[in-house]
Amino acid sequence: MNHTKRGIFTTTMVILTLLFFYLPMAVLLLYSFNSSKSMVITGFSLKWYNELFTNSPFLWKAVSNSLIIAVSSAFSAVLIGTLGAIGLRWYSFKLKNLFQIISMLPLLLPEIILGVALLIFFSAFSFPQNLFTVYLSHITFNIPFVLLIVMARLEEFDSTLLEAARDLGAREIDVLMKILIPLTMPAIIAALLMSFTLSLEDFVITFFISGPGSTTLPIYIYSMIRFGVSPVINALSVLIVLATIVLSLFLSKFSKYIINH
């Protein structure tokens, strides 16, 4: 019955979109097992995976940089963002709307703006560009996502829950530790995973901020694309897509807080 309501047009569009989304990934998968160094299909081989794991030290350095930044910036952004979301949800003050818009703006501005602004800012104050500036920048663009996700969760509860806790003798620290944090936990985990993922995949902002010693994985991939493609990149892409699928499976558990903003 449901089927008749959806016309041929929408069905066609969905099929086209899914093909559009996944054909490129299939091509990468195909090439990652291709024995030739060129794009001509010659035969099955695992050598690019082998080279990826055994003979790509710079790549793995970039991966470790990326992971360090992703983990540290995700935790920092979640800490700042969760407290901020609680403040924005339950306390009113003058210019709250403006404050809220400014807090969300890093999410809405094109990435290049934040990249350029931070680059100029750091050089204006002669900040050395290294992993630390990358860390600071990633926190900045992750905070709005944390705010969105945590606030969506907090929307599900009204303030009587907090009043009930205070009424039963809870001090503010009890309200935070025994009510707010446990209640928000699913959203906090979702925000952590999302920040982690966004940090791992950020290219544009990092591109402007990073210096010689702070190459992250996306920067490394960018230089691989620009300065000579080795089929190792196909193998790497397949692994990254697989990792994404695993992460997305985790995230889809919390998708409620990610999609419905």
Partner 1 sequence: MTEKSRLGHFYLFPLTIWSILFFVSPLIIIILYSFLTKDIYGGVIYTFSLKAYQSLIQLTYLKVFWFTLKISVISTAIIMFFAIPVSYYIARSPLKNVLLFLVLIPFWTNFLIRIYAWIAIMGNNGFLNQLLLSLHVLKTNIQFLYNPIAVIVVLVYTYLPFAILPLYAAIDKFDFTLLEASSDLGASRLQGILKVLLPNIRTGLMAAFLFAFIPIFGAYAVPQLVGGQESFMLGNMIARELTITRNWPLASAIATIITLVTCLGILLYIRSVRRSDEKDGK
Partner 2 sequence: MSTYFIITDPFSTIVKEPVNIYDISMLGSSVGIKNISKNFGHFKVLSDINLEIKKGEFFSLLGPSGCGKTTLLRMIAGFDKPDTGSIFLDDRNVTDIASNKRKVNTVFQNYAVFPHLTVFDNIAFGLKLKKIDKKIIQKEVFTFLELVKLNGQERKMPSQLSGGQKQRVAIARALINKPQVLLLDEPLSALDAKLRKELLIELDQIHNEIGITFIYVTHDQEEALGVSDRIAIMKDGKINQIGTSKEIYEKPADAFVAGFIGETNLLKGSLSITENKETKLITEKAGSINILINNPKIKSGASLTVSLRPEKINILPIEPTVKITHECLQGQVKEIVYSGFQSRYFVKTKQNIMNIIKVHEANETRIRRGDKVFLEWEKSDMNIVEFS
Residues 11-70 that bind partner 2 (CB under 8 A): none
Closest distance to partner 2 from the beta carbon of 183 (Å): 6
The answer to whether residue 119 forms part of the interface with partner 1 (CB under 8 A) is yes
Q: What distance in Å separates the CA atoms of residue 199 and residue 224, rounded to the nearest whole number?
A: 20
The region of 48-56, 67-75, 96-104, 182-190 touching partner 1 under the rule CB under 8 A is 96-104
One residue of 143, 154, 187, 232 binding partner 1 per CB under 8 A: 143
One residue of 191, 200, 232, 235 binding partner 1 per CB under 8 A: 200
Q: What distance in Å separates the CA atoms of residue 26 and residue 67, rounded to the nearest whole number?
A: 26
Q: What distance in Å separates the CA atoms of residue 242 and residue 245, rounded to the nearest whole number?
A: 5
Q: What distance in Å separates the CA atoms of residue 104 and residue 106, rounded to the nearest whole number?
A: 6
Angle in degrees, CA 29, 23, 41, rounded to 5: 45
Nearer to partner 1, 3 or 168 (CB): 3
The site for partner 1, by CB under 8 A, has a size of 97
Question: In this structure, what is the dihedral angle of CA atoms 163, 165, 167, 171, given to the nearest 10 degrees?
Answer: -100
Instruction: Tell me which residues in 35-64 interact with partner 1 (CB under 8 A).
Output: 38-41
What one-character-per-residue DSSP string does 9-57 give? Answer: HHHHHHHHHHHHHHHHHHHHHHHHTBSSSSSS---B--HHHHHHHHS-H
174 binds, among partner 2, partner 1, none (CB under 5 to 8 A by kind): partner 2
Sign of CA dihedral 213, 231, 71, 124: positive
Per-residue interface string for the shown chain with partner 1, residues 217-236, x marking contact by CB under 8 A: xx--xx--xx--x---xx--
One residue of 72, 140, 183, 230 binding partner 1 per CB under 8 A: 140
The answer to whether residue 124 forms part of the interface with partner 2 (CB under 8 A) is no
Nearer to partner 2, 112 or 164 (CB): 164
Q: What distance in Å separates the CA atoms of residue 111 and residue 144, rounded to the nearest whole number?
A: 13
The answer to whether residue 83 forms part of the interface with partner 1 (CB under 8 A) is yes
Instruction: Tell me which residues in 163-202 interact with partner 2 (CB under 8 A).
Output: 163-171, 174, 178-179, 182-183, 185
Q: What distance in Å separates the CA atoms of residue 143 and residue 161, rounded to the nearest whole number?
A: 26
Applying CB under 8 A, the residues found at the interface with partner 2 are 157-158, 160-161, 163-171, 174, 178-179, 182-183, 185
